[in-house]
């Protein structure tokens, strides 16, 4: 009786791991690789059960897992070169992850087209890799899903307000930065009280659940600020318009998109703080692809297409404080 | 697998699950009370009460919970100006926000869950033989007495197990409160995913384990109670 219970618990845990790793695989062309990665996660679930008794070091296990996943996915890819993005670009087709819900950056329009600065960057990079615009497939990459999409090979690269951080570098390669954003505040146009993050004491600041930007204001500028969290920035903006919160915070380029939606009603304070480097994420270890994309970004900035894309999408009155130099 | 974030002082895992427990506790009490009232209205002899309760239940339980919770914050509080806490001037408004959001969420859960409690109790009322209510009426009890003394005690004893299922569903439903900024387990999970983006599987497993720890005993306890208190016929 007892044994049977333990057995069913283990089976349940394995099933859970399957669901967790397999749930966001929606693109049909990559089903094979996602099944492969699910299979490897079952294997690693088995490993974890075994090693729980010995309390093995987690890092050793996770590296073993990633090497298994890598071996499997390269076997699936067959006899092609190391770089997934360059291989696909050679076939004239790339799959790019973007945001679908961020005005000015990555937005899926009602007619099915895509617009925004990230989209323009993605198109320029694809063009430099030799892919025509109709060879690009855009898929949605929500913030929490980005690493998984890249690891399973469902996208070739991701251009989705993807800040370069050390934790993320453990899982993916970053090209860029292609844009340097600064955190800023969005307030009502008639608000003269809030001039910067220091003036937020005793005020209510809105951000999305789990985002680090509101926490930064609290930690670094105004300990007395109250944080309201909603699921999306749109809800924050609605709360700001109704007066329930005093300011919304996130990266200035995102806020500029909302301010442009409500001209005369909302404004960006314009005192940027805390730098965010947006990078293009691609498969871990793909140095050839990273170098190629870095060159593409550099050429986009040098040719003036970068500034042009920014003017067309975010707005020509958007003040670029630092022009990025792709290095990482 | 690297579970080091569990003991990281930056993440208040216990506090987040304690918030889940608090949300569940107050919502459970509120929705039981409202659910009993709704059930009583649905079997009452007054047509207006019957149709009101019927309409309420059928409308509310067919609205997604996320919608109700976001509506509580965005429409009821922000647009219509309902205040469930006092904002004192010159004081950090965080305490006001926390109680306001918590109470809004509890109110939303009560409204939603009470419809399921009502239907569970109504099915319990149907298990009480009609002869009992007829006998009670025959000795001269009023409707409230028939319901309160004779029918409801037996009805509730018959539906302890289904009410346990409703409570388990409620526990898991409290994750929706993160949509309006209540710092419960699901909100912490989103934060963890942002900050520990290299170990998403571990984060999922820890939060899932937390919920199983909360709901598994609930099911066992309610199962035992149901066995102990069932009306033997």
Inter-chain touch A230–B73, beta carbons under 8 Å: yes
pLDDT (0 to 100) of residue A321 = 66
Domain that holds residue B224: 4-229
Average pLDDT over residues B70-78: 92
User: Phi and psi for A19 in degrees, rounded to 5?
Assistant: -65, -45
Question: Cα separations (Å) of B108 from A26, A63, B103?
Answer: 33, 45, 8
Running DSSP on this structure, what letter comes out for residue B30?
H
Tell me how many degrees the CA angle A8-A9-A10 measures, rounded to the nearest 5.
Answer: 90
What's the gap in Å between the CA of A194 and the closest CA on chain B?
A: 16
- Tell which residue, A266, A203, A199, A200, has the closest CA to residue A233: A266
Same fold, A84-172+278-313 and A181-275: yes
Judge if the upstream peptide bond of residue A327 is cis by omega within 30 degrees of 0: no
Q: Model pTM greater than 0.80? A: no
Q: Which of A200-214, B108-122, B164-178 has the lowest mean pLDDT?
A: A200-214
| Tally of domains within chain B | 1
Helices assigned H by DSSP within chain A: 2-22, 31-54, 58-77, 84-90, 117-128, 146-151, 166-169, 213-220, 233-242, 252-261, 287-303, 305-313
At B81 the pLDDT is 85
- What's the confidence (pLDDT) of residue A170? 87
Of A48, A226, A242, nearest to B97 by CB-CB distance is A226
Whose CA is closest to A102, among A232, A297, A230?
Answer: A232
Please give the pLDDT value at position A237.
92
Question: How would you classify the pairing of strands A226-230 and A204-208?
Answer: parallel
Those residues whose C-beta lies under 8 Å from the C-beta of residue A47, and which sit 6 or more positions away, are: A61, A64, A65
What crossing angle do the helices spanning A287-303 and A117-128 adopt, rounded to 10°? 110
Domains in chain A: boundaries? 2-77, 84-172+278-313, 181-275
Nearest-CA distance B192 → chain A (Å): 7
Q: Which residue in the set B3, B94, B189 is minimally distant from A58, CB to CB?
A: B3
Residue among A34, A46, A42 nearest A18 (CA): A42
User: Which residue has better confidence, A260 or A21?
Assistant: A260
Average pLDDT score over chain A: 77
| Backbone region of residue A56 per phi and psi (left: phi > 0; alpha: psi in -120 to 50; beta: other values) | beta
- 8 Å CB contact of B198 and A144: no
With CA atoms as reference, the chain B residue closest to A245 would be: B78
- B204 vs A19: CA distance, rounded Å: 11
| Between A124 and A102, residue with greater pLDDT | A124
- In chain A, the percentage of residues whose pLDDT exceeds 90 is 26
What DSSP state is assigned to residue A82? S
* Distance (Å, whole) CA A198 – CA B62: 45
Check whether A81 has a pLDDT greater than 70.
no
Our CA-based measurement puts residue B195 at a distance from the nearest CA of chain A, in whole angstroms, of 8
Share of chain B above pLDDT 90, in %: 73
The DSSP secondary structure of B47-78, one letter per residue, reads: HHHHHHHHHHHHHHTTS-HHHHHHHIIIIIII
For residue A192, give the 3-state DSSP assignment: coil
The chain B residue lying nearest A236, using CA atoms, is B74
Could you count the other beta carbons within 10 Å of the beta carbon of residue A49?
12
For the stretch A183-224, pLDDT in tens is: 899 999 998 888 888 888 888 999 888 777 777 777 788 778
- Residue B178 has its nearest CB partner, among A147, A209, A225, at A209
Residues of chain A neighbouring B194 (CB-CB closer than 8 A): 143-144, 210-212
User: Architecture of domain A84-172+278-313 in CATH?
Assistant: 3-Layer(aba) Sandwich (3.40)
- Average pLDDT estimate for B163-177: 95
pLDDT at position A31 is 40
CATH number of A181-275: 3.40.190.10
Query: What mean pLDDT, rounded, does chain B reach?
Result: 92
> Considering chain B, what percentage of its residues have pLDDT values greater than 70?
100
Q: How far is CA B224 from the centre of its chain?
A: 21
What is residue A5's predicted lDDT score, i.e. its pLDDT?
Answer: 52
Q: What is the least distance, in Å, from the CA of A109 to any CA of chain B?
A: 24
From A222, which residue of chain B is nearest by alpha-carbon distance?
B92
Q: CA A104, A141, A208 angle in degrees (round to 5)?
A: 65
Distance CA B72, CA B93 (A): 19
Is B1 within 8 Å of A239 when comparing Cβ atoms?
no
Q: What is the DSSP letter of A98?
A: E
A197 touches A221 (CB < 8 A):
yes
Task: Identify the CATH number of the domain in which residue B17 sits.
Answer: 1.10.3720.10
Under the banding of pLDDT at 50, 70 and 90, the label for residue A94 is: very high
Taking only the tens place, the pLDDT of each residue in A295-322 is 999 999 999 899 889 888 887 767 776 7
- Residue B26, classified by CB atoms within 10 Å of its CB into exposed (0-12), middle (13-18) or buried (19+), is middle
Question: Taking CB atoms and an 8 Å cutoff, what residues of chain B touch A203?
Answer: 93
Name the residue of chain A whose CA is nearest to B88's CA: A202
Instruction: Inspect the interface and report whether the beta carbons of B78 and A143 lie closer than 8 Å.
Output: no
Question: Are the Cβ atoms of A144 and B78 closer than 8 angstroms?
Answer: no
pLDDT band, residue B153 (cuts 50/70/90)? very high
B1, B90, B191 ranked by CB distance to A62: nearest? B1
Q: Which range, of A65-79, A245-259, A307-321, B36-50, averages the lowest pLDDT? A: A65-79
Beta bridge partners, A102, equal A106
Look at B200 and A144 and tell me if their CB atoms are within 8 Å: yes
């Amino acid at each position: 009786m007892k044994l049977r219970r333990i057995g069913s618990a283990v089976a349940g845990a394995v099933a859970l791991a399957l669901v967790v790793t397999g749930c966001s695989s929606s693109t049909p062309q990559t089903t094979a690789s996602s099944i492969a990665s699910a299979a490897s996660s079952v294997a690693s679930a088995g490993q974890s059960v075994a090693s729980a008794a010995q309390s093995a070091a987690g890092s050793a296990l996770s590296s073993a897992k990633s090497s298994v996943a890598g071996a499997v996915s390269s076997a699936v890819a067959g006899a092609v070169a190391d770089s997934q993005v360059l291989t696909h670009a050679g076939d004239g087709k790339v799959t790019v992850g973007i945001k679908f819900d961020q005005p000015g950056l990555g937005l899926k329009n009602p007619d099915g087209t895509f617009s925004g600065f990230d989209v323009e960057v993605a198109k320029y990079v694809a063009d430099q890799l030799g892919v025509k615009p109709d060879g690009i497939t855009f898929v949605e990459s929500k913030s929490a899903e980005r690493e998984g999409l890249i690891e399973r090979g469902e996208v070739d690269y991701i251009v989705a307000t993807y800040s370069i951080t050390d934790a993320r570098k453990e899982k993916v390669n970053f090209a860029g930065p292609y844009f340097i954003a600064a955190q800023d505040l969005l307030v009502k146009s008639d608000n003269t009280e809030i001039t910067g993050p220091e003036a937020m004491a005793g005020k209510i600041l809105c951000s999305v659940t789990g985002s680090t930007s509101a926490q930064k204001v609290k930690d670094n500028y105004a300990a007395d600020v109250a944080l309201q969290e909603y699921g999306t920035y749109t809800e924050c903006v609605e709360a700001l318009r109704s007066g329930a919160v005093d300011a919304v915070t996130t990266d200035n380029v995102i806020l500029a998109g909302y301010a442009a939606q409500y001209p005369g009603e909302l404004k960006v304070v314009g005192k940027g703080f805390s730098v965010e480097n947006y990078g293009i994420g691609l498969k871990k270890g793909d140095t050839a692809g990273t170098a190629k994309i870095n060159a593409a970004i550099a050429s986009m900035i040098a040719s003036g297409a970068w500034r042009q894309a920014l003017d067309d999408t975010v707005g020509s009155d958007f003040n670029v404080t630092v022009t990025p130099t792709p290095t990482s | 697998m690297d579970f080091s974030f569990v003991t990281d002082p930056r993440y208040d895992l216990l506090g987040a699950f304690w918030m889940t427990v608090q949300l569940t506790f107050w919502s459970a009490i509120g929705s039981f009370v409202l659910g009993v009232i709704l059930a009583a209205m649905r079997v009452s002899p007054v047509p207006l009460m019957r149709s009101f309760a019927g309409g309420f239940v059928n409308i509310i339980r067919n609205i997604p919970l996320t919608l109700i919770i976001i509506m509580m914050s965005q429409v009821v509080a922000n647009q219509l100006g309902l205040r469930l806490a006092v904002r004192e001037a010159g004081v950090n408004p965080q305490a006001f926000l926390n109680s306001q959001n918590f109470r809004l969420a509890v109110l939303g859960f009560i409204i939603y869950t009470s419809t399921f409690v009502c239907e569970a109790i109504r099915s319990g009322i149907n298990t009480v033989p009609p002869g009992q209510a007829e006998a009670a009426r025959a000795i001269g009890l009023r409707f409230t007495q028939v319901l309160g003394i004779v029918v409801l005690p037996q009805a509730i004893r018959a539906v302890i197990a289904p009410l346990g299922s409703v409570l388990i569903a409620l526990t898991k439903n409290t994750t929706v409160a993160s949509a309006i900024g209540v710092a419960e387990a699901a909100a912490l999970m989103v934060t963890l995913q942002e900050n520990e983006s290299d170990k998403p599987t571990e984060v999922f497993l820890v939060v899932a384990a937390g919920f199983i720890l909360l709901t598994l005993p609930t099911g066992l306890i309610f199962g035992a109670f149901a066995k102990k208190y069932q009306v033997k016929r």
